[in-house]
Amino acid sequence: MRIEVEKLTKRYRDADRELTVIDNLSFSFPDRGSVAIIGRSGTGKSTLMHLLGALDSPSSGCVRYGDTNISSLRSDERAAFRARNIGFIFQFHHLLPEFTALENVALPLIMSGMSEGEAQERSGALLDKVGLASRKEHLPSQLSGGEQQRVAIARALVARPAVVLADEPTGNLDVATASDIQRLLLEINREQGSTLIIVTHNHELARSLDMVVEMHPGGALVVQRDGRGANA
């Protein structure tokens, strides 16, 4: 799915000051493939992800998915759009504590109307793929941090969303586990033909992706791998 941001601006206001975090940003993401968002703390990476995921509205400008301007949707339409098109993976994964790994992954499918049997079968296959074949019946509290994060990844990808937004998905894991999980995300991204947008502090990973958006306090630098570099 083609995602474009056009003249995207986000300001936060408190009582006595205004902070422009994203300032008139215009560029397109690739239809499929992988994109890294990098930059120092506080430069607006999470803010951009929230705008891309229709979790927050821009101060001006818009985000388009294909022909749909998601910034102009009503909040119920936005929720429906998110459920159909976007998988979210965040640093803190918010698994449901009273449900097993398998149930956590299957739940979004069942809520979207899939039969329980089919949902469990598809979820089980994805849990096998992320290396949790023997952990399906465990509760989140019975899993390690990295295992919980892999459940969260399976849950985000199980409905095969066209777009996957990952905000520091491995930020709280050791280096080796983090790089395993990143490799897995890229592998599934290629298999599913989706667009993966990942916030990362790992510059080596960023360099290996199709596009890099580097956030700076004054604006963003967009580097496309086909050789076109653009200041946005």
Q: Verify binding: residue 43, Mg ion, rule CB under 5 A.
A: no
Instruction: Return the beta strands (E) in 122-210 as ranges.
Output: 163-167, 195-199
Per CB under 5 A, the segment of 40-48, 67-75, 81-89, 107-115 that binds Mg ion is 40-48
CA 218/CA 94 separation, integer angstroms: 33
Given 25, 34, 43, 46, the residue binding Mg ion (CB under 5 A): 46
Q: Verify binding: residue 12, ligand ATP, rule CB under 6 A.
A: yes
CA 91/CA 149 separation, integer angstroms: 8
Q: Verify binding: residue 198, ligand ATP, rule CB under 6 A.
A: no
Residue 162's identity, in one-letter code, is A
Which partner in ligand ATP, Mg ion, none is near 161 (CB below 5 to 8 A by kind)? none
Q: Mask: binding to ligand ATP, 26-55, rule CB under 6 A, as x and -?
A: -------------x-xxxxxxx--------
Q: Are 54 and 43 in contact (CB under 8 A)?
A: no
Q: Report the 3 state secondary structure along 121-132.
A: HHHHHHHHHCCC
Q: How far is the CB of 117 from Mg ion (least distance, A)?
A: 39
CA 171/CA 169 separation, integer angstroms: 6
Site residues for ligand ATP per CB under 6 A: 12, 19, 21, 39, 41-47
Site residues for Mg ion per CB under 5 A: 45-46
